């Protein structure tokens, strides 16, 4: 189950890592993770085939990044300001609801976990060691200092085919003096529209982004990215996105994204 990239595929494979991460996220949140994916998560005990037990024993005594404790970057941290926390709570409180007889069930929103490594190989043993050795980090999660770069959390609402991202822009994302770089805004738009397309259509890759910058975003401020499905046509998923202030009264940026579906075969080399 090794991932083989279709390197010559026209249209790029911009969303492959995202697709796979979101697959992980969905499986974990539903509690039906398969054995291979469970090896990569911090929840519960590692469940590995006997053949790889020895190597895991060796790895287990090493510090992070060898400890299998990936950090979920979408959870609150001390750098989050009041706007970021308030909006997180607003959506997070709607992720799980209590029924009249006291049972808990899924709400309309779902928080997506977010890690800083892509899942190159989903099996253990030799492939697992390749992930551990890789220095590569997801672009939006590559800064260690909390609050300095992209602080964001994505919630999806499959019922309404809608997706929101609460994004707090750190001081290392500067473009115009005191304001967020246009490329950093494009990065968040690519990330969130792609996540939404993946959630609705399965693994996709970005084919086009068309971005209109309306008004600048101050460094340190929190904004809301709201994505909705425009249409689906065969392999194509069209998503639109608006970046606004937290009460949606001011439009900062608007964009459309076109995504092409790729098969799980492409993604997992099956």
Active-site residue set? 190
Binding of a copy of itself by 70 (CB under 8 A): no
Q: Is 138 among the residues that bind a copy of itself (CB under 8 A)?
A: yes
Instruction: Work out how close the CB of 109 gets to a copy of itself at its nearest, in angstroms, rounded to a whole number.
Output: 24
Decide if 193 contacts 229 (C-beta within 8 A). no
Of 55-63, 64-72, 138-146, 155-163: span binding a copy of itself (CB under 8 A): 138-146
Closer residue to a copy of itself in complex, CB, 113/203: 203
207 binds a copy of itself (CB under 8 A): yes
Q: With CB under 8 A as the contact rule, which of the stretches 6-14, 48-56, 79-87, 107-115 interacts with a copy of itself?
A: 6-14
* Residue of 1, 9, 42, 265 interacting with a copy of itself (CB under 8 A): 9
| Crossing angle for the helix pair 182-201 and 16-30, to the nearest 10 degrees | 50
CB within 8 A of 247, min separation 6: which ones? Answer: none
Give the phi and the psi of residue 76 in degrees, each rounded to 5. -60, 145
Contacts (Cβ under 8 Å, ≥6 apart) of 221: 83, 168, 169, 245
Task: Give the number of other Cβ atoms within 10 Å of residue 1's Cβ.
Answer: 11
Instruction: Tell me which of 36, 39, 92, 253 binds a copy of itself, using CB under 8 A.
Output: 253
* Among positions 58, 78, 82, 212, the unique one binding a copy of itself when judged by CB under 8 A: 212
Q: Which range of residues in 40-48, 80-88, 90-98, 176-184 is near a copy of itself by CB under 8 A?
A: 176-184
User: Contact with a copy of itself (CB under 8 A): which of 23, 40, 84, 119?
Assistant: 119
- SS3 state of residue 9: coil
Nearer of residues 12 and 42 to a copy of itself, judged by Cβ: 12
- Residue 171 CB, nearest distance to a copy of itself (Å)? 5
Within 8 A by CB and 6+ apart from 6, the residues are 13, 262, 266
Contact residues for 35 (Cβ-Cβ < 8 A; gap 6+): 47
According to DSSP, the residues that pair with 259 across neighbouring strands are: 206, 237
Q: How many CA atoms lie within 13 A of 50 on its CB side?
A: 0
Q: Does 205 contact a copy of itself by CB under 8 A?
A: yes
Closer of 62 and 136 to a copy of itself (Cβ): 136
Q: What span, in angstroms and rounded, lies between the C-alpha atoms of 159 and 73?
A: 25
Residue placing its CB nearer to a copy of itself in the complex, 30 or 214: 214
What gap in Å lies between CA 58 and CA 46, rounded to an integer? 14
Distance CA 141, CA 187 (A): 11
Nearer to a copy of itself, 90 or 120 (CB): 120
The reply on whether position 146 binds a copy of itself by CB under 8 A is no
Q: Where does this chain bind a copy of itself (CB under 8 A)?
A: 3, 5, 7-18, 20, 118-120, 134-140, 142-143, 149, 171-184, 186-191, 194, 205-216, 218-219, 252-253
């Amino acid at each position: 189950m090794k991932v083989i990239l279709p390197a010559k595929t026209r249209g790029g494979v911009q969303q492959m890592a995202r697709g796979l991460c979101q697959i992980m996220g969905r499986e974990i949140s539903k509690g039906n993770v398969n054995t291979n994916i469970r090896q990569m998560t911090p929840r519960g005990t590692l469940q590995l085939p006997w053949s790889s037990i020895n190597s895991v024993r060796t790895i287990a005594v090493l510090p992070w990044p060898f400890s299998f404790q990936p950090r979920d970057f979408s959870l609150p941290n001390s750098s989050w300001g009041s706007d970021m926390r308030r909006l997180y709570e607003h959506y997070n409180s709607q992720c799980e609801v209590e029924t009249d007889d006291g049972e808990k069930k899924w709400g309309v929103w779902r928080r997506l976990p977010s890690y800083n490594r892509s899942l190159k190989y989903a099996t253990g043993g030799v492939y697992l060691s390749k992930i551990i050795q890789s220095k590569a980090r997801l672009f939006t999660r590559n800064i260690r200092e909390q609050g300095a770069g992209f602080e964001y959390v994505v919630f999806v609402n499959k019922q309404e085919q809608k997706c929101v991202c609460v994004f707090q822009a750190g001081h290392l994302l500067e473009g115009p003096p005191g304001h967020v770089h246009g490329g950093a805004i494009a990065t968040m738009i690519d990330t969130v529209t792609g996540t939404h397309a993946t959630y609705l259509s399965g693994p996709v890759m970005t084919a086009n982004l068309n971005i209109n910058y309306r008004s600048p975003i101050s460094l340190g401020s929190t904004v809301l990215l709201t994505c909705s499905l425009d249409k689906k046509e065969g392999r194509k998923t069209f998503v639109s996105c608006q970046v606004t202030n937290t009460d949606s009264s001011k439009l900062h940026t608007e964009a459309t994204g076109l995504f092409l579906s790729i098969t799980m075969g492409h993604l997992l080399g099956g």
